[in-house]
Amino acid sequence: MASAVSLLLHSSPTTRPLHRAGPPSRLLCCPHRRAALLSHTAVATPRLLLAAPPRASNNNNNSGAVEAPDRLVAAVAYLYPFLDGAHHGRFLLAQFPFFSSLLGPLAPAARLFHSSPLTPFLLFLTLYFAVVRNQQAFSRFVRFNAMQAVALDVLLIFPDLLAQSFAPTSASGVGFEVFQSMESTVFLFLLVCLFYGGGACLLGKTPRLPIVADAAERQVM
């Protein structure tokens, strides 16, 4: 019996390991390679996170562009305050004929504007109620520039009142020189507003005239 047990013990297979241990990894054996891999991963990860997403194509996005009819209507609106206050330039036009030749193309519009005493008032109502308040028919670009032209024309009330109240009786003296300078200043201001406002509108830009821009901004929704 003892010999049979001894025979069974000697003939049983030896226990083998479940997994065969292979040779150690080169990465684990070389610490400097492991550090280089970790540093490369740390640098590449922020670059992937901070990379800008692909931009969408703007070939069909023309919402920011101002159409040609809107540019023309907005530019023509600045003729209204200039023609209404052109009489302030009578002294400047007499002294410098250059301005007369420069403004010669506007002569037909000036004659039509002053053809009736009601024309300025009718144009005022048209610009304000038919353009500025008409959000369905006109863009904000047109309405803002029309409102600037209307506000600029309203400001002409003050130099008109001063000219009627303090007009000198004689064409000489200090009072006449002050009055002449005031009239020429008003005319030059209107001329600059005409060229700056009209030119910017034709280029599709939004001009902001001094004094009246903030008032126009509040009126245009």
For residue 53, with 0-12 CB atoms within 10 Å meaning exposed, 13-18 middle and 19 or more buried, which class applies?
A: exposed
Query: Under the phi-then-psi rule, with left for phi > 0, alpha for psi from -120 to 50, and beta for the rest, what region is 204?
Result: left
pLDDT at 174: 83
Residue 221: its pLDDT value, please? 73
Nearest-angstrom CA–CA distance, 196 and 203: 11
Helix (H) or strand (E) holding 20: none
Q: Output the pLDDT for position 106.
A: 92
Give dist(CA 200, CA 206) in Å, integer: 6
* Local confidence pLDDT in tens for the 221 residues of the chain: 444 434 333 444 444 444 444 444 444 444 444 444 344 444 443 443 333 443 333 333 333 589 999 999 999 999 999 999 999 999 999 999 888 888 999 999 999 999 999 999 999 999 999 999 999 999 999 999 999 999 999 999 999 998 888 877 777 778 888 889 999 999 999 999 999 999 999 999 999 999 999 999 999 97
173 φ/ψ sector (left φ>0, alpha ψ -120 to 50, else beta)? left
The one-character DSSP state at 128 is I
Contact 215, 146 (CB under 8 A): no
Whether the predicted model's global pTM rises above the 0.95 cut? no
CB 190 within 8 A of CB 88: yes
Q: Count of H helices and E strands in the chain?
A: 13, 0
Distance between start and end Cα atoms, the chain: 112
Q: What is the pLDDT of residue 65?
A: 86
* pLDDT at site 173: 76
**CA distance linking residue 52 with residue 7, whole number of Å:** 76
Q: How far apart are CA 90 and CA 185, in angstroms?
A: 11
Cβ 33 vs Cβ 26: under 8 Å:
yes
| Cα–Cα distance for residue pair 38/46, rounded to 1 Å | 13
Question: Per this entry, what is the length of the chain?
Answer: 221
pLDDT value at residue 5: 38
pLDDT of residue 64: 58
Phi first, then psi, for residue 196 (nearest 5°) are -70, -50
Please report, as a single letter, which amino acid is at residue 191.
L
